[in-house]
Amino acid sequence: MSYTEAVILDTEWTTWPGALERSWSGKDEYREIIRIGAIIIDLDSLQEIEVLDVFVKPSINPNLSDYCIKLTGITDKQIQAEGIEIHEALHKFGDFVGDRKIFSYGGDILILFENMRLNNIVFDARTLQSDRPIVVNDYDQTDSSLESNVVEVILYVQVTGIR
Amino acid sequence: MLEGVHVETNLYGNCVQFIHTDLRTWFNTNVPETQDKSSGEIAKTLGIAEPKGNIHNPLFDVRSVLMGLRELVLCRHVKNPLLVDIK
């Protein structure tokens, strides 16, 4: 584990008018990742060292809503031209992260869970503090209860599933 | 002496491992005004210069978080949450 560098992660995902308020519980609403942004930083100086910017093709709702386009500035054209499958994006992200810890503001790791579930990617997740498994089968995408409890999460993703 | 077979399992041998920490609580504790704000609003909420670009561009958002970290750790001398050891 690297103790000199870390990764800060942020994701953008598909959305519709009112989706936030109803926690993406509308028909066929899923928080599919459409862009992953991450930077590697030096832990002492807090200076940016390296950047990752990846567009991802949503598999269930391949066309972005007008609301999503306006909110994120991401267009269908960009997704079609530059987007890659979530499996490949996770692989790129894994290569980028290496042995560094990941930090984010908010529940981006939960978005990864959701997207791995949606795309049948094998993984196991547990909390570091108590080594408590996160029973992802019980995690409904509309249930945000984990977000307030999970601070540190260790996530294992089957390499064979993301290549 | 008991006899037996020592078995080592390597459940995660073929896995990519991610260790993730959510910084929201740390920001919210040190700067209560960040509650209910998104990642891209951190710098603005702290009253510091914002990165170039637009909110909901993930690189803008991570840089907003980084600028918030810099402000709190380097200027206001809050303990760096990224250096807190986790087992």
A83-98 tens-digit pLDDT: 999 989 998 999 999 9
**Angstrom distances, CA of residue A78 to CA of A26, A69, A70, A113:** 26, 11, 14, 24
Residue B19 belongs to a domain: no
pLDDT at B59 over 70: yes
Residue B60 belongs to a domain: yes
Task: Write the residue in A37, A94, A154 that is nearest to B61 by C-beta.
Answer: A37
All residues of chain B having their beta carbon less than 8 Å from the beta carbon of residue A43 are: 80, 82-83
Beta bridge partners of B17: A156
In single-letter form, the type of residue at position A74 comes to I
The structural domain count of chain B equals 1
Residue B7 belongs to a domain: no
So what's the pLDDT on residue A58? 97
pLDDT at A64 over 90: yes
Confidence of residue A66 (pLDDT cuts 50, 70, 90): very high
Task: Write the residue in A10, A41, A101 that is nearest to B58 by C-beta.
Answer: A10
Global pTM value: 0.86
Residue B39 belongs to a domain: yes
Residue B53 belongs to a domain: yes
State in words which class domain A5-162 has.
alpha beta
So what's the pLDDT on residue A81? 98
Residue B3 belongs to a domain: no
pLDDT at A132 over 90: no
H or E stretch at A3? none
End-to-end CA distance of chain B, in Å?
Answer: 35
pLDDT at B21 over 50: yes
- The CA distance from A79 to A64, in Å, is 9
Neighbouring residues of B39: CB distance < 8 A, sequence distance ≥ 6: A10, A104, A105, A106, B61, B62, B64, B65
So what's the pLDDT on residue A160? 53
Instruction: Report B:7-36 residues touching A (Cβ under 8 A).
Output: 11-12, 14-25, 27
- The CA distance from A8 to B87, in Å, is 19
Residue B58 belongs to a domain: yes
Residue B12 belongs to a domain: no
DSSP for B16-50? EEEEEEE-HHHHHHH-GGGTT--GGGHHHHHTSPP
**Domain range list for chain A:** 5-162
Range of the domain at B38: 24-83
Q: Are A67 and A21 in contact (CB under 8 A)?
A: no
Confidence of residue A161 (pLDDT cuts 50, 70, 90): very low
